[in-house]
Amino acid sequence: MRADGLDLRNAPLDGQKVRSTRIFLVRHGETEWNAGQRFQGHLDSPLTPIGLEQAGQMAARLATRGVEIIYSSDLGRAMQTAEAVASRLGIPVHPTADLREIDCGLWTGLSYQDVRERWPEEFARWRHQPHLHRMPGGESVVQVQERGLRFLARVCRLHSGRAVCAVTHNTVIRSVICHLLRLPLSRLWEGERQANCAINLIQCRDGQMELVEIARTDHLTTVSTPRLWV
């Protein structure tokens, strides 16, 4: 459902039913580094037992939503989550670098506390002015948003009228949602929190994308505490 309560999954356009492309944009399950409050970036830690449980519960929900195609970030934690969905649905996973988490550069593998102590000004900018921040030796949020939107446009073009699951990461999801809600990237950390294995639904019709569901967790029995660590 949209924030205004309107469900457009079967809404007619100009008096006729038009089948839209549905993209279920989901976050990977909880990892050991999520639980340990560390920046992951392009490195990985395995899913925790909670993360594996979350992936299974998300797979069960997506099995009821008509998903036909699965894409995933090519990072291990996302692929591990996507494989749970693929196993449930009996379809393959298509990995793509466009869905990777932000490259954290020198912050990769460091704890929240370590980064705050060693890069106090940069850390404050990441928290409060993310649109002006570039990870030392890594990416900016603008770059992440650009590749996230590039992926969505490609899916809308290639898979018209179909239901697609895309397993990705916190910064990708939040940056794309900012664009869809016409919010500046300065507000990246505002709004709905993206818990591990939360589900967002984007619809694409006639080249126009719309956010229909945001950060749904009603399919989860265990919801990890959402964090800024990526």
Catalytically active residues, by annotation: 28, 101
3-state secondary structure of 180: helix
Provide the 3-class DSSP secondary structure of residue 182. Answer: coil
Q: DSSP letter at 95? A: E
Burial of 183 (C-beta count, 10 Å sphere; 0-12/13-18/19+): middle
Distance between the two ends of the chain, CA-based, in angstroms? 27
- SS3 category, 58: helix
Given a contact cutoff of 8 angstroms between Cβ atoms, the answer to whether 77 and 44 are in contact is: yes
- Residue that the structure tokens 């029995």 belong to: 221
213, containing H or E segment: strand 208-216
